[in-house]
Amino acid sequence: MYVSDLALDDFRSFHELVLALEPGPTAFIGPNGQGKTNLVESIAYLSTLSSHRVGADTALVRRAPAGQTQPAGAVIRTKVVHGQRPSVLELELIAGRANRARLNRNTARPRDLLGILRTVVFAPEDLALVRDEPGVRRRFLDDLAVTLKPSLAGLRAEHDKILAQRASLLKSARAARASTSSMLSTLEVWDAQLAAAAARLIAARVDVVQRLRPWVADCYSRVSEGGSAARIAYRSSLAAHEGAPDADPADEPAFLAVEEALQDVAATAMRLERAMGELHAREIDRGANLVGAHRDDLSLFLDALPAKGFASHGEQWSLALALRLASYDMLRHDVDAYGGDGEPVLILDDVFASLDDRRRQALAGIAADAQQVLLTAAVASDVPADLSGARFRVSATESGSQVHRE
Ligand SMILES: Nc1ncnc2c1ncn2[C@@H]1O[C@H](COP(=O)(O)OP(=O)(O)OP(=O)(O)O)[C@@H](O)[C@H]1O
Ligand SMILES: [Mg+2]
């Protein structure tokens, strides 16, 4: 698939932008702070309804210079060419209110847009995939699960809601000091609900891990200096509670067995309920949910060692890159829910400057035959020769960022 048209109103540094795009590589060039990332961020936002950069939605609406009227909201509009018929996606971000969406000019829920425009973004922030807390990797898996199967967005939202409600019940039980029998029976109702939602979410994540696994190994060997093998495994707080040891990368059958068991949704829900029952006293003591999808992680290994805490800076970079490229390859080999091609738009934000020659070549080689790749760079010489295509210059002006074809 590819994006053929992009229009922005008051998104980040853009006041008004209307841009026609082509398949193949397109580079956005300009010095720091001109609006390159803002531009590609808008496209990525339409595909996941979240930004690859930190920050609340309010940061996405343009702040006009002092003295000018502040825009009430931002609009992102794209035409996506995929399968038989193009789709027109439109999202209005209104400060302090729920977003509004339109699909092919009809009113839709924002969630209805999910899964139509597929993107894979690789950006310097992705080092967090290897280095940061488990939440970053859970989000990585969940975003992929939703891209593969958009209806999972509803499950994800429902799970988070139940989780928050159960947490507030645990907090009030803690505040009350003594847990009454009515409190415990209410808690059991929440146990069942959380277990059911978490079991489905865990199964969806494990499915992603299994599909991704061969691509991660393959992409890592392409982008690294060779030598070590990259492996991934789903890390389950439930299995840990039950006494299963942490995944040992040398014992693949063992962690595959853990994953396989987690794919049985009904059995996982029962196991979760039992675990919650065993943990009630501690959960009330801590005022927090202690087991479930929200405590899980994706374990990353290079050979026999966990990447976090052991891998060198360069290895961490290669692994983060491999995770994104693997996502790209996995999605590309999947037919999307709309019967079109599942090949995502590849977005490479400011990555070539920080890669050495070998990895730059490997990435350029993969990106060169992508249906559409949008990349940003501060200077044109950072863009590898294999990726010569359309070039646009992005510049900040008094009336917002501007984009001109070179
Ligand atoms: N909501 C907003 N309203 C107005 N301006 C914004 C808004 N959000 C970000 N900006 C401005 O956009 C600029 C950053 O744009 P962007 O991150 O796209 O830069 P860039 O061209 O990618 O630069 P770099 O090469 O450093 O990555 C900053 O000057 C910032 O002040
Ligand atoms: Mg940038």
In this structure, what token pair is assigned to residue 91? 């999202």
3-state secondary structure at position 312 = coil
The CATH class that applies to domain 1-118+342-406 reads: alpha beta
Contact in structure between 331 and 115 (CB atoms under 8 Å)? no
379 CB within 6 A, ligand 1: no
Number of residues in the chain: 406
Residue 96 alpha carbon to ligand 1 centre in Å:
21
Per-residue pLDDT in tens (0 to 9) along the chain, 406 residues: 999 999 999 999 999 999 999 999 999 999 999 999 999 999 999 999 988 776 677 899 999 988 889 999 999 999 999 878 899 999 999 988 889 999 999 999 999 999 899 999 999 899 999 999 999 999 999 999 999 999 999 999 999 999 999 999 999 988 887 667 888 889 999 999 999 999 999 999 999 999 999 999 999 998 887 778 999 999 999 999 999 998 899 899 999 999 999 999 999 999 999 999 999 999 999 999 999 999 999 999 999 899 988 998 889 999 999 999 999 999 998 876 666 678 999 999 999 988 888 888 889 988 988 999 999 999 999 999 889 899 999 999 999 999 999 9
Q: What's the CA-to-centroid distance between 9 and ligand 1, angstroms?
A: 15
Domain boundary assignment for the chain: 1-118+342-406
From the CA of 33, how far away is ligand 2's center (Å)? 7
The atom of ligand 1 lying closest to the CA of 30 is 21
**What b/e readout covers 349-385, taking b as 16+ CB neighbours within 10 angstroms?**
bbbbeebeeebbebbbebbbebbbbbbbbeeeebbbe
CA distance 402 to 337: 35
* Best of 8, 10, 12, 14 for a ligand 1 pocket test (most atoms within 8 Å of beta carbon): 12
DSSP code per residue over 362-386: HHHHHHHTSSEEEEEESSGGGS-GG
Alpha-carbon distance 301 to 304, whole Å?
6
32 lines ligand 1 (CB under 6 A): yes
Q: Are strands 297-302 and 100-103 parallel, antiparallel or unpaired?
A: unpaired
C-alpha 125 – ligand 1 centre gap (Å): 15
51 in contact with ligand 1, CB cutoff 6 A: no
Element (H, E) at 256: helix 252-262
